[in-house]
Amino acid sequence: MNTLIRRNLPIGIQTFAKIREGDYYYVDKTAVAFDLARIGGYYFLSRPRRFGKSLFLDTLKELFEGNEPLFRGLYIHDRWDWSVRYPVLRISFGSGLLKSRIELDEKIQEILDDNQQRLDVAVGRHSISGYFADLIRLTHQKYGQPVIILIDEYDKPILDNLTDRQAALAMRDGLRNLYSVLKELDAHIHFVFLTGVSKFSKVSLFSGLNNLYDLTLVADYSSICGYTEADVDSVFAPELPGLDRERIRQWYNGYSWLGERVYNPYDVLLLFKNRDFRPYWFETGTPTFLVNFMSERGFFTPDLSRMRTDLELISAFDVDYIAPEALLFQTGYLTIHQAQQPMFGHWIYTLGYPNREVESSLNSSLLAAYSGDARRAFENRWRLQELLMANDLPALRDLFHAFYANIPHDWYRNSPIAQYEGYYASIFYSYFAALGLDVVVEDATNHGRIDMTVRFNQRIYLFEFKVVELAPEGAALEQIKVKGYAEKYRGEGWPITLIGVEFSRESRNIVGFEIEVA
């Protein structure tokens, strides 16, 4: 592609043919499609919303149906046998909101009817499982080729009902009734690909389907969806002039599934359209239950930037039990920063925010939940930015004092961390992170770890937090000085300010705020 020619941005387009036949940018994913499709099998992929899962499935559909003209000029074109065509069954739960098992069964019936009509086969059985099984067998018989089954948003009916346990369980049972058919019909199936946001256990949803290969954390497929650095620099080269390339990287890159990091396509396309850095992905539907889930459990928000976990925890997702790590990872609010295998074959994963967009937006939402007043939380963030621009640190104390004073008493009473300095540090951290600043928690020095480091406006601020009932008065600032935390940062050449912040559990507020220039 001539990188000097600007094309249309495929915002919201999930149809491969429309992109290829129109004058749209296209990031070639057919090398991955070829790798999977040429050998067949049963595959599963979990990725957050708006990452291009539906487009990849539609690419597979056009490939198996042999629509050769759409693939001219792409990696796969000269490698695929276009003389062989397969019948494709497509199932998607991406549209609509289903609230009961009856609605789900009706939706499934409509989907199966649509496939029957499109493939022109006559199915006589009426139960959902029997209908689906006959549809697969009769399709294979009619076309003389085993069936391709593509299932998009396989888990959406459950996710839409997570706050209603009984409804979610009913959805799970209804979907299991559909998916369990696949295990008995292997002789009639060449290829199965399921996508969704979450990864429900095989026992709960795919009973007996033991040959389902999970691609979610296979490094070679980390970029199966999303845009790589090379994609942005080459395919979208005409869109880059006038935009800060490093800022694009900081705001939107960083999603990792053990392999190459990728950008969220939705963010990148809207950035190129609007020429403005905004939380496009976050604004499209961050679920209220996620923010409530975190605020009700009194999350120590700095932990979100470096949460350690294992494979079992980030995979523990089911109606009856959702591990916080799994919820945040699978929905895209945390990603894998590091993977280590210290002993006995058990991998340890360090999770953190993928980028500045998610860190800033999620902390903004949490601050609104903590205070119960989104407007006040916004005004406080705006005031914090003004004070930092003016380097007015004494006024900073008053701002945070007012914020703590306005947090409802019930929040303190119900929060599991309200008695510890971590709670107060959480509030500080979330405010700075919500502004999209360069914030590092527990940054290691030669003499220990500083609680919070903030870089802004060519200045460095070092924060240490203490609870006065647990430490002597003045201990916070004294620790920064005695341990020489500032020495690590002197080489950066920016002014360094030490800030010791002390809280009282009794008054539930700031009682000490000492400032010293290093």
Q: Which residue has the tokens 């009639």?
A: 188
The per-residue b/e assignment along 229-252, b for 16 or more CB within 10 angstroms, e otherwise, is bebbeebbeebeeeeeeeebbbbb
CATH number for the domain that contains residue 460 = 3.40.1350
Single-letter residue type at 421 = E
CATH number for the domain that contains residue 47 = 3.40.50.300
Could you list the residue range(s) of the whole structural domain that residue 79 is in? 28-221
Beta bridge partners of 255: 262
Does residue 6 fall inside a structural domain? no
Element (H, E) at 496: strand 496-504
56 and 200 share a domain?
yes
Annotate 417-473 with DSSP letters as a single string: TTTSHHHHHHHHHHHHHHTT-EEEEEEEETTEEEEEEEEETTEEEEEEEEETTTS-T
Contact call for residues 456 and 390 (beta carbons, < 8 A): no
Q: Residue 52: how many CA atoms within 13 Å on its side-chain side?
A: 26
Nearest CA among 267, 452, 450, 444 for reference residue 361: 267
Q: Is 0.75 topped by the overall pTM?
A: yes
397 and 337 share a domain?
no
Does residue 97 fall inside a structural domain? yes
- Residues 429 and 333: their CA atoms lie apart, in Å, by 17
- Residues 29 and 390: their CA atoms lie apart, in Å, by 48
Nearest CA among 281, 255, 286, 257 for reference residue 269: 281
Contact call for residues 439 and 433 (beta carbons, < 8 A): yes
Single-letter residue type at 198 = S
Contact call for residues 367 and 325 (beta carbons, < 8 A): no
Does residue 9 fall inside a structural domain? no
According to DSSP, residue 207 is labeled: T
Does residue 201 fall inside a structural domain? yes
The per-residue b/e assignment along 1-17, b for 16 or more CB within 10 angstroms, e otherwise, is eeeeeebebbeebbbbe
pLDDT tens, N- to C-terminus, the chain (518 residues): 444 789 999 999 999 999 999 999 999 999 999 999 999 999 999 999 999 999 999 999 999 999 999 999 999 999 999 999 999 999 999 988 999 999 999 999 999 999 999 999 999 877 999 999 999 999 999 999 999 999 999 999 999 998 899 999 999 999 999 998 998 899 999 999 999 998 886 666 776 677 889 999 999 999 999 999 999 999 999 999 999 999 999 999 999 999 999 999 999 999 999 999 999 999 886 667 777 777 776 667 778 888 888 888 888 778 888 888 888 999 999 999 999 876 666 788 999 999 999 999 998 888 887 767 778 888 888 999 999 999 999 899 888 888 777 665 555 555 544 445 566 778 888 899 999 888 988 887 666 688 899 999 999 999 998 888 777 778 889 999 999 999 999 999 999 999 999 988 787 788 899 999 98
pLDDT at 306: 85
Give CA angle at 250 (286, 257), nearest 5°: 65
Beta bridge partners of 339: 349
Domain tally for the chain?
Answer: 3
| Residue where one domain finishes, among candidates 199, 221, 243 | 221
Does residue 357 fall inside a structural domain? no
Helix, strand or coil, per DSSP, at residue 210: coil
pLDDT at 344: 66
346 and 209 share a domain?
no
Contact call for residues 229 and 243 (beta carbons, < 8 A): no
pLDDT at 417: 45
Does residue 392 fall inside a structural domain? yes
325 and 376 share a domain?
no
424 and 465 share a domain?
yes
**CB 508: neighbour CB atoms within 10 A?**
16
Does residue 279 fall inside a structural domain? no
Does residue 336 fall inside a structural domain? yes
Annotate 390-422 with DSSP letters as a single string: HT-HHHHHHHHHHHHHTS-HHHHHH-TTTTSHH
Q: In what order do the strands lie in the sheet with 307-310?
A: 307-310, 346-352, 335-343
pLDDT at 79: 97
- Residues 54 and 49: their CA atoms lie apart, in Å, by 10
Widest CA span in the chain: 83
434 and 512 share a domain?
yes
pLDDT at 322: 81
Can you list the alpha helix ranges (DSSP code H) found in 305-355? 311-314, 324-330
